[in-house]
Structure 1
C-alpha cells in the first residue's frame, strides 16, 4: 500500500503544497480526497500539479494553456464554473488532436472517418495544428476543475471528467462541499431563489 493513501487531508495538502497556491479556506476537502485518490489508486494517475496549475491561473498566475474558465448555464450546475486542466496520458492528447482536426478540416467532422483514407491529411494536420498550437492559443481542452465564485474569490470544489454526468457531479457537491461552504446553496440556487 502506498504511504500516500494513509495521509490525512492536512498532510496531503502540505505534500502537494496547495496552500502555496490558494488558502485552505477556499478549497474543499473533497477536492483533496479526489486528488489523493487519483494519485494513488487510478489509472492513469493524476499529477496534482496539473490541477494546481489551473488553480494558479485562476488566481492570477501564469496560463496553463487550457481554455478560459466558463460558467455553467444549465441546471443542476448553474452558478458554478469550470476550468480545464491537462489530464496525463494519451486520452487527453487524442481528444485535443481530434478537436483540432474537426475544426480545421471537414473530412474530420464526422466520427466515422476512414483512418486509412485520412492518414496522410491527418499527419499533416497534426504537424501543422496539433497540440502545441492549441495550447499556444489557449484552446487545449482537458478535464474539469469545478469551482464557485463568491465575494470576488474562487472556491475550488472538485474535479470531474467530461463524461461524468452533471447530476452526479452535483450530488457529490451536495454531499461533500455544502457543509464546508454555507453560502454555496445560494450560489447554486441562483436567481430562482430570489
Structure 2
C-alpha cells in the first residue's frame, strides 16, 4: 500500500492517479501533491506554506474544492513573485510604499558597495517576495481537486489553471460516479 493510499484511505479516482502521474511527467514533484493531501487530511496548526483550500463557486466545478500544490521551477516562482507584488488595490498601496522605501534605502546608501547594493536589490525584488509569500501562507500553484462528502475528502483530479474548468469537470464526470456512486445528486456536477 502506498503513502497516498494510507493517507487517503484510497479515496481517489483513477483520473486523479492518471493526472497525478501526468503532472509528474511534466515536472511536478509527487511529494508536493502528497504533502498537500496529507495537510488536508490531518491539518498541522503550524503549516501555512500554500494558500488555504478554496471551494469552487461557479459551474461546472461548483461545490468541489481545490487546494494548490507547489510547482517547482522558475515559472511558478515568477508567478508567485508577480502575485506578491501585484495584490489588490489597498494592499498594493501598502506594498508599493514599503517596497519603494526599502528599494530607495538600499539604492541610495553609498556606504554599501555597488555590487552589494545590486545583490540586495535583486534579493528584495525576487527572493524576499517569494519568502514573504510562503510566510504569509499564500503560495499558489496547480490544483488538487476534491469533493468533501460525508466528512471525508475524495480526490478527483489534478489540474492546471490553463486546463479549463469544462475539461476538468468532464474528466471528473466520466469516472467519479462510477467509482463513487454515492456522489449522485450531492452536487450539480454529479446530477
TM-score scaled to structure 2, two decimals? 0.75
Deviation at 1:126, TM superposition (A): 2.8
Distance 1:122 1:77, change over 3 A: farther
Structure 2 partner of 1:37: 22
Match of 1:96 among 76, 80, 83: 80
Deviation at 1:39, TM superposition (A): 2.4
1:22 aligns with 2:8: yes
Match of 1:85 among 56, 69, 82: 69
Relative contact order (C-alpha < 8 Å, sep 6+): which is higher? 2
TM-score scaled to structure 1, two decimals? 0.74
Distance 1:18 1:127, change over 3 A: closer
Deviation at 1:22, TM superposition (A): 1.3
1:178 aligns with 2:162: no
Aligned residue pairs, count: 162
CA distance in 1, matches of 2:131, 2:121: 18
Structure 2 partner of 1:134: 133
Structure 1 partner of 2:110: none
Gaps of 5+ in 1: 1-12, 110-118
Three-state SS of the structure 2 residue aligned to 1:93 is helix
Deviation at 1:55, TM superposition (A): 0.5
CA distance in 1, matches of 2:41, 2:182: 20
Moved over 3 A (4+): 119-123
Deviation at 1:36, TM superposition (A): 2.0
Three-state SS of the structure 2 residue aligned to 1:183 is helix
Q: CA RMSD in A?
A: 2.6
Deviations 1:126-158 (A, max 9, x none): 354x11111111111111100001011111111
Three-state SS of the structure 2 residue aligned to 1:100 is helix
1:189 aligns with 2:174: no
Three-state SS of the structure 2 residue aligned to 1:20 is helix
Deviation at 1:105, TM superposition (A): 4.7
Q: Is the 8 A contact 1:54 1:64 kept in 2?
A: no
1:153 aligns with 2:155: no
